């Protein structure tokens, strides 16, 4: 991590504010803005993110006076500044003087000026000028009292993740030379013997532009990693300039949650303050969980340290086909949820809605209608509430559950051609996280390199790449008492996309006691087929077609439970007892070391207990094969889930695993809709529902309302209570 510790603001308060673009407005509006910021309790603004053209109107000619004037006004008003290096959108002079500074897309088309992020990461012109601008800004504002944070660039890779120009191609060849050393090593790693792709020299290797058909996934994965490194190098170059002049000012660049383009585990090592931009769709029920998941992810990236929410929107964005507005209270509720999960700052994109350009109708803290907007009172109230909740600052969250999240494995899964199309980013990790979140059980999201000793339960969800190092640490954790739950598909390829041979799971097989001999995917949704293939058999004439034995349309898997504990768990979920179901993914699993007497069809041994098996319903050929197994390991155990469990299955299984692991599940008993999160000494009760919810046994002071709870507490719809003293809550 970076060198900085402690609070972003010297006042030790929760940060509140947003992106401010005063350069789009007349001075009168700027003065009005400062007044309104004071009214709203704004104490931090991000400045100059898209101001390059105004800061450097001609190459090497800097005009910083206007920015100094704004910074001075901020300082006078007690507003701190997260100052951008302004390098996210180069001015037109760069494009016109050096057209090769513009990026090239995968089709080989050079992209034009007139939008934003139009730079090639390999462009020497861009590199030179961005570095110089960062340096000049640092020198200009080094001692400015308002400066508390550097904001390098903006959302690296958001639009241009990979450039496919000739310069990038040349740099890629060099990157490959350094990675592989010899062309033979590359040929082996990429298995270029397939489809006659063998190279005799690194200079023959191209950027993976459009090709006739499927590309070599290893080629693409390396290009992805290369492009990630290119962008990181740009960030590091700017940071070097900033550090040289202002060594004590922390540096950040804003992440984009579960964006898979950049490996944020790698980036997180180079930022002093983790910051995130987060725009969950407000009109879907999954939005509330996405807020929690991304916040936990950011806390994980900072290894438990607080982070800043750098961007969200007060109400609606403008970039969706239909931009749903947030409901009254939702803006504050989702803000407090981030605070509960570890944020020490809540910033918005943006302070004032733009008067023109592509983001005219993107929400702002100040709407086009000004103070008459419905949102203004909410903006002001949230400022007060956050200030009141500032006691939580620096507070840590203790989690007994860890979920592994790995960018590289997720990319590998996305780039792999088959065995199924990958689901949305980190879909499996998100699903398992939600199972714990629904029960108010705190989870840490951790990397494959994390220390695992302190966790009772460790979930390894869909980690497509086999990591022998991780397997060793998971084994040690299980021996020390942890319950390791590995969920499919895991350990299918190595880090160069070569298939794991001898049974999938690779280095994890020893721990879980089983190997995966075959993947088994159920048939796709027939509705997506072409008309010609959607054959409907006419029983009067189609004598073969009408009896062809295929499973039904879009079938799921159904599991039979073989463990009494799991049976009881299902029983306790609902009446009548629900079935365990899963999605399209299934696997043939056998014991790694089969017993001498092989019993078909499970091929298991005494060590491996079958917890649930595939039922074989709906034409599933996995009938009787293990779907969930368990193996005792030292003081803990290793569980293997050979299918993509749906929520009831995950719930039932985590109840059983939780009981074995003696997990604290007291949070599960709150009334529907109540999210309870403990951060430091503060306990948050967030009501995500439209009804007022009563809680009994809550004792202490609500930091937000200032009221004392003496046992009985009502949490209004879409609102938050944050109890600052000891509590002993039950439903
Ligand atoms: C991103 C960018 C902002 C703005 C918002 C709009 O997060 O960083 O500049 O474009 O999207 O939602
Ligand atoms: Zn390029």
In angstroms, what is the span from residue 157 Cα to ligand 1's centroid? 12
Q: How confident is the model at residue 397 (pLDDT cuts 50, 70, 90)?
A: very high
- Which ligand has the shortest distance to the CA of 314? 1
In angstroms, what is the span from residue 166 Cα to ligand 2's centroid? 6
In angstroms, what is the span from residue 342 Cα to ligand 1's centroid? 22
In the predicted structure, residue 520 carries a pLDDT above the cut 90: yes
Q: Which residues are catalytic?
A: 155, 311
Cα gap 474→535, rounded to integer Å: 49
Neighbours of 575 (CB within 10 A): 7
Neighbours of 138 (CB within 10 A): 21
Cα gap 650→582, rounded to integer Å: 9
Q: Which of 347-351, 592-596, 619-623 has the lowest mean pLDDT?
A: 592-596
| pLDDT at site 731 | 43
Q: How confident is the model at residue 526 (pLDDT cuts 50, 70, 90)?
A: confident
Output the residue whose Cα is nearest ligand 1's atom 12. Answer: 317
Average pLDDT over residues 510-532: 87
In angstroms, what is the span from residue 164 Cα to ligand 2's centroid? 5
Alpha helix segments (H runs only) across 41-157: 52-55, 65-77, 92-97, 124-141
In the predicted structure, residue 600 carries a pLDDT above the cut 70: no
Neighbours of 543 (CB within 10 A): 10
Q: How confident is the model at residue 457 (pLDDT cuts 50, 70, 90)?
A: very high
For the chain, the C-alpha Rg in angstroms (whole number) is 27
- Which ligand has the shortest distance to the CA of 127? 2
| pLDDT at site 725 | 66
In the predicted structure, residue 8 carries a pLDDT above the cut 70: yes
Over residues 410-430, the pLDDT tens digits come to 999 999 999 998 888 999 999
Cα gap 731→709, rounded to integer Å: 14
In the predicted structure, residue 730 carries a pLDDT above the cut 70: no
In angstroms, what is the span from residue 49 Cα to ligand 1's centroid? 10
- Which ligand has the shortest distance to the CA of 209? 2
CA dihedral 191, 189, 498, 198 (to 10 degrees): -10
- State percent of the chain over pLDDT 90: 91
Q: How confident is the model at residue 554 (pLDDT cuts 50, 70, 90)?
A: low
- Containing 40, the helix (H) or strand (E) segment is helix 27-40
Q: Which of 318-332, 391-405, 597-611 has the lowest mean pLDDT?
A: 597-611
- Which ligand has the shortest distance to the CA of 108? 2
Ligand 1 binding site (Cβ under 6 Å of any ligand atom): 154-155, 277, 279, 311, 317, 349, 359, 362
In the predicted structure, residue 218 carries a pLDDT above the cut 70: yes
DSSP letters for 550-598: ---SS--EEEEE--HHHHHHHHHH-SSPPPEEE-SEEEEEEESS--SS-
Output the residue whose Cα is nearest ligand 1's atom 7. Answer: 277
Output the residue whose Cα is nearest ligand 1's atom 4. Answer: 349
| pLDDT at site 601 | 56
Atom of ligand 1 nearest to the CA of 256: 7
Atom of ligand 1 nearest to the CA of 254: 8
731 vs 66: which has the higher pLDDT = 66
DSSP letters for 254-307: EE-TT-SSS-HHHHHTT-SS-EEE----TTSTTHHHHHHHHHHHHHHHTTT--E
In angstroms, what is the span from residue 286 Cα to ligand 2's centroid? 37
Atom of ligand 1 nearest to the CA of 313: 12
Q: How confident is the model at residue 555 (pLDDT cuts 50, 70, 90)?
A: confident
Please say whether the beta carbons of 515 and 509 come within 8 A: yes
Atom of ligand 1 nearest to the CA of 277: 7
71 three-class SS: helix
Strands 147-151 vs 80-84: parallel, antiparallel or unpaired: parallel
State which of 311, 315, 326 you would mutate to test the pocket of ligand 1, scoring each by most atoms of that ligand within 8 A of its C-beta: 311
- CA 134, chain centre distance (Å): 28
Please say whether the beta carbons of 559 and 581 come within 8 A: yes
Please say whether the beta carbons of 448 and 602 come within 8 A: no
| pLDDT at site 728 | 47
For the chain, the average pLDDT equals: 95
State which of 349, 360, 361, 363 you would mutate to test the pocket of ligand 1, scoring each by most atoms of that ligand within 8 A of its C-beta: 349
Strands 275-277 vs 254-255: parallel, antiparallel or unpaired: parallel
pTM over 0.95: yes
Please say whether the beta carbons of 326 and 314 come within 8 A: yes
Q: With helix as H, strand as E and coil as C, how does 462-506 read?
A: CCCECCHHHHHHHHHHHHCCCEEEEECCCCCECCCCCECCCCECH
Over residues 630-667, the pLDDT tens digits come to 999 999 999 999 999 999 999 999 999 999 999 999 99
Output the residue whose Cα is nearest ligand 1's atom 5. Answer: 349
In the predicted structure, residue 576 carries a pLDDT above the cut 90: yes
């Amino acid at each position: 991590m970076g060198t900085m510790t402690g609070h972003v603001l010297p006042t030790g308060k929760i940060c509140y504010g947003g992106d401010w673009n005063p350069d789009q407005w007349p001075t009168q509006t700027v003065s009005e803005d400062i007044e309104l910021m004071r009214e709203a309790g704004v104490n931090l603004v991000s400045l100059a993110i898209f101001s390059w053209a105004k800061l450097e109107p001609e190459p090497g000619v800097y005009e910083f006076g206007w920015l100094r004037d704004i910074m001075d006004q901020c300082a006078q008003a007690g507003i701190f500044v997260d100052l951008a290096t302004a390098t996210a959108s180069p001015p037109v002079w760069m494009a016109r003087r050096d057209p090769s500074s513009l990026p090239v897309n995968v089709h080989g088309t050079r992209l034009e000026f007139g939008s934003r992020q139009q730079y090639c990461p390999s462009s020497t012109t861009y590199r030179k000028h961005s570095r110089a601008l960062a340096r000049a800004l640092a020198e200009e504002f080094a001692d400015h009292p308002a400066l508390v944070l550097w904001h390098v660039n903006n959302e690296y890779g958001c639009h241009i993740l990979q450039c496919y120009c000739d310069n990038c191609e040349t740099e890629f060849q060099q990157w490959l030379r350094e990675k592989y050393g010899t062309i033979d090593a590359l040929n082996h790693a990429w298995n270029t013997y397939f489809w006659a792709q063998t190279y005799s020299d690194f200079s023959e290797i191209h950027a993976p532009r459009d090709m006739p058909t499927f590309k070599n996934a290893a080629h693409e994965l390396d290009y992805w990693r290369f492009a990630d490194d290119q962008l990181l190098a740009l960030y590091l170059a700017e940071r070097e300039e900033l550090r040289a002049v202002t060594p004590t000012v922390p540096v950040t660049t804003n992440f984009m949650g579960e964006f898979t383009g950049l490996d944020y585990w790698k980036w997180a090592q180079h930022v002093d303050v983790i910051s995130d931009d987060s725009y969950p769709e407000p009109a879907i029920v999954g939005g509330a969980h996405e807020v929690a998941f991304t916040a936990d992810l950011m806390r994980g990236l900072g290894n438990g340290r607080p982070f800043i929410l750098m961007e969200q929107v007060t109400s609606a964005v403008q970039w969706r086909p239909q931009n749903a507005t947030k409901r009254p209270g939702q803006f504050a509720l989702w803000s407090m949820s981030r605070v509960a999960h570890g944020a020490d700052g809540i910033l918005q994109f943006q302070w004032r809605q733009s008067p023109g350009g592509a983001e005219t109708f993107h929400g702002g803290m100040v709407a086009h209608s000004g103070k008459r907007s419905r949102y203004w009172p909410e903006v002001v109230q949230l400022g007060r509430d956050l200030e009141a909740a500032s006691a939580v600052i620096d507070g840590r969250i203790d989690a007994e559950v860890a979920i592994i999240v790995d960018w590289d494995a997720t990319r590998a899964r996305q780039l792999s051609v088959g065995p199924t199309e990958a689901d949305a980013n980190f879909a499996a990790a998100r699903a398992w996280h939600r199972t714990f979140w629904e029960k108010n059980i705190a989870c840490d999201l951790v990397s494959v390199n994390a220390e695992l000793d302190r966790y009772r339960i460790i979930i390894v969800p869909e980690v497509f790449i086999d990591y022998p190092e991780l397997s060793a640490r998971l084994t040690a954790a299980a021996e020390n008492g942890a319950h390791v739950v590995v969920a499919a598909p895991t350990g299918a390829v190595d880090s160069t996309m070569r298939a794991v041979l001898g049974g999938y799971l690779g280095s994890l097989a020893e721990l879980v006691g089983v190997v995966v001999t075959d993947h088994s995917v159920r048939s796709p949704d027939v509705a997506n087929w072409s008309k010609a293939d959607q054959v409907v058999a006419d029983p009067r004439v189609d004598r073969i077609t009408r009896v062809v034995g295929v499973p039904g349309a879009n079938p799921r898997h159904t599991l039979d439970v073989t463990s009494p504990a799991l049976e009881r768990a299902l029983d306790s979920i609902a009446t009548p007892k629900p079935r365990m179901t899963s999605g399209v993914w299934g696997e043939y699993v056998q014991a790694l070391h089969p017993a001498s007497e092989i019993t078909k069809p499970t091929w298991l041994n005494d060590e491996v207990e079958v917890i649930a098996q595939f039922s074989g319903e709906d034409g599933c050929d996995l009938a009787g094969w293990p779907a969930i197994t368990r193996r005792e390991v030292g003081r803990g155990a290793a569980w293997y889930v050979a299918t993509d469990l749906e929520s009831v299955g995950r719930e039932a299984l985590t109840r059983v695993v939780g009981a074995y692991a003696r997990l604290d599940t007291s949070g599960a008993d709150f009334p529907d809709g109540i999210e309870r999160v403990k951060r430091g000494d503060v306990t948050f009760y967030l009501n995500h529902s439209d009804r007022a919810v009563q809680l009994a046994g809550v004792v202490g002071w609500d930091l937000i309302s200032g009221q004392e709870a003496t046992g009985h507490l009502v949490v209004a719809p879409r609102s938050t209570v944050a109890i600052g003293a000891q509590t002993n809550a039950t439903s």
